[in-house]
Amino acid sequence: MHRCRLVVAVFAALLTIGAARAQTIGFAQVGTESDWRTAFSADMKAEAERRGIHLLFSNADNDAGRQLQAVRGFIAAHVDAIVIAPVVVTGWTETLQAAKAANIPVFIADRAVDADPGLFVARIAADFNLEGRLAGAWLAQATRGNCGIVELRGSEGAEPTIQRHKGFLAIVSQFPNMRILKSVGGDFTSEGGQRAMSLVIQETDGLKNVCAVWSHNDNMLLGAIKAMHEAGLHPGRDQLTVSVDGVPGIFRAMLAGDANMSVELKSDIGKYIFDVVQKYLAGKRDFPKWVLIPSDLHTPADAAAMLSRRGF
């Protein structure tokens, strides 16, 4: 009898130990280039903690080589799964092949890679091309298809930069009197947007013949707005200002009359990502290659409500 009880107790203890083992997931993040990126990282960490996931977090600081090394480190550590928000689209095949050889599933988050889709389980992300098209359509309607535009591009080679530009251009190119007059890089940062806009203001005699500024993210636009104010301009009135992300700063700019529209790229997407990862680890296999996260368009009409919703 005592021996039977001992066997039962040991078996129960083993079950408890097995149940208590946390899943270890490596997350290779792009960096901290924007308020949106910082909020995304914070959400991933909080969601992992809520689910009891042991999250190995790596910040690449927008260095593609550094990010590849981090993913190689996750593979060497034999993590249960790897989530990658890639700095750039290209150069991933060899590393993803190594993960596949180690039987470690990979999930692409937020951005995209141009590797064989068979090397990763799924991409969980918004539609960047749609974001560009939404911005272009809003601007076309607001200007009745008559507008000279300054474009602030994100980091070169990044999927949001590529697709937001393509989507926006697909809409405005349908209107003979809408065209991009200047397209300059701002690296997705406020400093980059301010620096780029200062140069454009000089080159265009104070944004002469420019009716709108289209930015690939809010932080660049916020920097551009600062440069415009310093030059004595009135952003949001003299020139319409449109962008993507939906960070708190852009809603404040809307309430101040400096910004006109932003397409929200949701930053609280840890729940979407970890739902896919954990279901896969539990045995589910029928995922689409692209798990789409919805995007919303916001204007000054709902800026106060958006700030209130986020607790600001």
Show the beta-strand stretches assigned E in 249-295.
Answer: 261-264, 290-292
Q: Report the pLDDT value the prediction gives residue 309, as an integer from 0 to 100.
A: 83
Residue 214 lies in a domain: yes
- Give yes or no: residues 256 and 142 share one domain: yes
Q: Report the pLDDT value the prediction gives residue 42, as an integer from 0 to 100.
A: 96
Residue 175 lies in a domain: yes
Look up the domain containing 240 and give its range: 128-265+299-309
- Give yes or no: residues 91 and 165 share one domain: no
As for how many domains the chain has, the answer is 2
Q: Report the pLDDT value the prediction gives residue 21, as an integer from 0 to 100.
A: 67
Q: Report the pLDDT value the prediction gives residue 22, as an integer from 0 to 100.
A: 85
- Give yes or no: residues 163 and 250 share one domain: yes
- Give yes or no: residues 140 and 118 share one domain: no
- Give yes or no: residues 253 and 202 share one domain: yes
Handedness of CA 134, 138, 139, 141 (dihedral sign): positive
Residue 288 lies in a domain: no
- The 3-class secondary structure across the chain, one letter per residue, is CHHHHHHHHHHHHHHHHHHHCCCEEEEEECCCCCHHHHHHHHHHHHHHHHHCCEEEEEECCCCHHHHHHHHHHHHHCCCCEEEECCCCCCCCHHHHHHHHHCCCCEEEECCCCCCCHHHCCEEEECCHHHHHHHHHHHHHHHHCCEEEEEEEECCCCCHHHHHHHHHHHHHHCCCCEEEEEEEEECCCCHHHHHHHHHHHHHHCCCCCCCCEEEECCHHHHHHHHHHHHHCCCCECCCEEEEEEECCHHHHHHHHCCCCCEEEECCCCCHHHHHHHHHHHHCCCCCCCCEEECCCEEECHHHHHHHHHHCCC
Q: Report the pLDDT value the prediction gives residue 10, as an integer from 0 to 100.
A: 38
- Reading the chain (312 residues) residue by residue, the pLDDT tens digits are 444 453 344 344 434 444 446 899 999 999 998 999 999 999 999 999 999 999 999 999 999 999 999 999 999 999 999 999 999 999 999 999 999 999 999 999 999 999 999 999 999 999 999 999 999 999 999 999 999 999 999 999 999 999 999 999 999 999 999 999 999 999 999 999 999 999 999 999 999 999 999 999 999 999 999 999 999 999 999 999 999 999 999 999 999 999 999 999 999 999 999 999 999 999 999 999 999 999 999 999 999 999 998 665
The domain spanning residue 252 has which CATH number?
Answer: 3.40.50.2300
Residue 133 lies in a domain: yes
pTM to 2 decimals?
A: 0.84
- Give yes or no: residues 139 and 260 share one domain: yes
Residue 18 lies in a domain: no
Residue 9 lies in a domain: no
Spacing of C-alpha 98 from chain mean position: 25
Residue 17 lies in a domain: no
Q: 260, 300 in Cβ contact below 8 A?
A: yes
- Give yes or no: residues 254 and 272 share one domain: no
Residue 287 lies in a domain: no
